[in-house]
Structure 1
Amino acid sequence: MLQRKFDQVVKKEFPNAKDAKDTSIHYLGKMQIEHQLDVSKVLMATSVCSDDINVPSTTFFNVLFGPFSMGGLGGLPFVGQTGMTAFAHHVPDEGSAFIFYGPHIGITLDGELGKMYRPRMEETGNSCGALMLALDRFQDEDYVPVVNEPDYQQMKLEESLLPYRAEILGSDNPSKAITEATYRVIDEKIHEHLKTCKEEFNVDKVTLLGGIIINTDYGLDDYFDTRNFEVIDLNTL
């Protein structure tokens, strides 16, 4: 019953979102049936936020090799070209690569975005914490992130979102807007790194599945709002 209520709440904000487990089954099927990929020889990489709440979000983890973790705070692929190259070198012979990526956002049963109830905690907490922190800092019009070693990832995340600052703050729902903007940043970086490192892969196909993870309550299934699914032939990239 509670899962059904959450389904209505999530669909109000993200009409195309699907249960994360159903998402996994659907796209694994497409990989096998439509693209003739052998999932027993697929190495998975993720570029999702390092937040522990994202670990059980999909069943890809139970089927594919990996994951090779590319993402840091907010889901940005902080491993860069070196990380993409390492991932390329780990793909099974005659197999293929799969990259699952995107930011995450919590939602409560009341429909509040950017919040969620975490395991064994009575009060709601931020999700994504890094993005909600960036959003809070962006409220100060004089604030400019300074990239530094002690807090490199957060500062770099905020720096990458600066071009979208006005758009985020001027939206009807800034929590949702900053998540949408982060997806665009991640998607662009994944494609850039893949194109730069394409010669490092010893296989022809790389599958990309990008979108937004929507965190619900502890014990309930998360959702995934797919924004991009593509099987790329590296020979034509």
Structure 2
Amino acid sequence: MLRITNSASSKPRSANQTARHVSHETHSGNTCPNCHHPLPMMSTPVVDTFQSTLQRVFPNAYNLEEFVFRTKQTLIPKGFYPHVNTFVCVGLCRDEITSPFEEEVEAMWGQAFICGSLGGMLFCGKTGFAAAHHHAPGTARIVYYCFTHIAIDNLGMIGTVYRTRSGMNEKTTACGALAAFTSEIASNKLNLHFDEEDIEMSMLKKHIVKATGLSTDSTNAPDLLAVTMAAYETITIDLERHARHDAEKFKERQYALFTGVQVHGPDGSDYCWLGKASLIINGVQSPLTLITNTVSSSRPGTATGGH
């Protein structure tokens, strides 16, 4: 299993540690902004259950906009200049609700090479990474944002998201592919055979199990959070391998690597939990810590307790 080495981050806690304490009463004037159903009344004074769950499960998560801004402000003093000498690669899930992340990155750095697939897995492989690296000169700086994703709804339920903009009023899951993988394990119906009609999903399951040793025993089945963290670990392993391979050939290039989990919240809000950040300079990889004094911690929508 990959060990998280970025001292700026805290490891997410188990989903079993995020139980909410609510009564069975409802508040007559308090309805869900997404589905318009009455919300449970808290047995204690009303609190933001999304925020409390976010902080328990993904401590020190950033608001999406602030996260991308901080990464840019951290890298500029190190010689990574947007639209001048820096090329950006983005690896996210194909799910449309991950698109705000890509849009925010491209607004900061310019057009990105897209290297993600289902669950955010990096299945573009050697050919895909080689293509991306050939789109920048040998002296360029290259920044990677490679994240898997998960949702937390307004009641603090992990894996649940409403997609009201597409006309859906019922709950859906994120990540759907990782949720399906989780369900297969729990129901003892996991199929690890390669399916040419379902290439990415086949590879997702096989690759995560091989890379992280994730339990496939239905009597000890991982929950969605555990599977999501295994996806994050796998993505980090793959990204570092490809970046180091390129660094062996291009000695003057510098690389900034960011991996973690994109968290979808209520009303289309998005957060980022940074699992690992590092620099590769002269072929040597070292930890990277985001600067903390560029944006006020009271910025609207920002989770408290920055890195």
Q: Secondary structure at the match of 2:204?
A: helix
Measure the CA separation in 1 of the matches of 2:138 and 2:279. Answer: 18
Say yes or no: does 1:227 pair with 2:272. no
Measure the CA separation in 2 of the matches of 1:200 and 1:149. Answer: 34
Matched residue, 2:180? 133
Measure the CA separation in 2 of the matches of 1:169 and 1:66. Answer: 46
Matched residue, 1:213? 262
Equivalent in 83, 90, 111 of residue 46 of structure 1:
90
Matched residue, 1:18? 62
How many residue pairs get aligned? The number is 232
- Cα–Cα, structure 1 residues 51 and 202, in superposed 2: closer, same or farther, change >3 Å? farther
Q: Which amino acid aligns with 1:85?
A: A
Matched residue, 2:192? 145
Q: Which amino acid aligns with 1:23?
A: F
Say yes or no: does 1:97 pair with 2:142. yes
Q: Which amino acid aligns with 1:60?
A: V
What TM-score do the two structures reach when normalised by structure 2?
0.69
Say yes or no: does 1:164 pair with 2:229. no
What TM-score do the two structures reach when normalised by structure 1?
0.88
Deviates more, 1:108-117 or 1:35-44: 35-44
Correspondence list, 1:16-95, <5 A: 16-33=60-77, 35-40=78-83, 41-57=85-101, 59-91=104-136, 94-95=139-140
- Cα–Cα, structure 1 residues 98 and 22, in superposed 2: closer, same or farther, change >3 Å? same
Q: Which runs of 5+ in 2 are unaligned?
A: 1-32, 34-46, 286-307
Matched residue, 1:195? 244
Q: Which runs of 5+ in 1 are unaligned?
A: none
- Cα–Cα, structure 1 residues 154 and 204, in superposed 2: closer, same or farther, change >3 Å? same
For the Cα contact (< 8 Å) 2:91–2:146, is it kept in 1? yes
Runs of 4+ in 1 over 6 A off after TM superposition: none
Q: Which amino acid aligns with 1:49?
A: C
- Cα–Cα, structure 1 residues 112 and 232, in superposed 2: closer, same or farther, change >3 Å? same
Question: How far is the alpha carbon of 1:7 from its aligned partner?
Answer: 3.0
Question: How far is the alpha carbon of 1:143 from its aligned partner?
Answer: 2.7
Measure the CA separation in 2 of the matches of 1:107 and 1:166. Answer: 24
- Cα–Cα, structure 1 residues 208 and 52, in superposed 2: closer, same or farther, change >3 Å? same
For the Cα contact (< 8 Å) 1:210–1:228, is it kept in 2? yes
Q: Secondary structure at the match of 1:207?
A: strand
Measure the CA separation in 2 of the matches of 1:129 and 1:73. Answer: 9
Deviates more, 1:107-116 or 1:159-168: 159-168
* Identical counterparts, % of pairs: 22
Question: How far is the alpha carbon of 1:234 from its aligned partner?
Answer: 4.2
- Cα–Cα, structure 1 residues 225 and 132, in superposed 2: closer, same or farther, change >3 Å? same
Measure the CA separation in 2 of the matches of 1:87 and 1:201. Answer: 13
Aligned-residue CA RMSD (Å) = 2.3
Measure the CA separation in 2 of the matches of 1:201 and 1:88. Answer: 10
Measure the CA separation in 2 of the matches of 1:86 and 1:218. Answer: 37
Question: How far is the alpha carbon of 1:202 from its aligned partner?
Answer: 7.7
Question: How far is the alpha carbon of 1:236 from its aligned partner?
Answer: 3.6
- Cα–Cα, structure 1 residues 200 and 150, in superposed 2: closer, same or farther, change >3 Å? farther
Higher radius of gyration, 1 or 2: 2
Deviates more, 1:133-142 or 1:204-213: 133-142
Per-residue CA deviations over 1:37-84 (Å, capped at 9, x if unaligned) read: 212232111111111110103622202122111111111111001111
Q: Secondary structure at the match of 2:200?
A: helix
- Cα–Cα, structure 1 residues 169 and 177, in superposed 2: closer, same or farther, change >3 Å? farther
For the Cα contact (< 8 Å) 2:181–2:190, is it kept in 1? no
Q: Secondary structure at the match of 1:122?
A: coil
Measure the CA separation in 1 of the matches of 2:90 and 2:219. Answer: 29
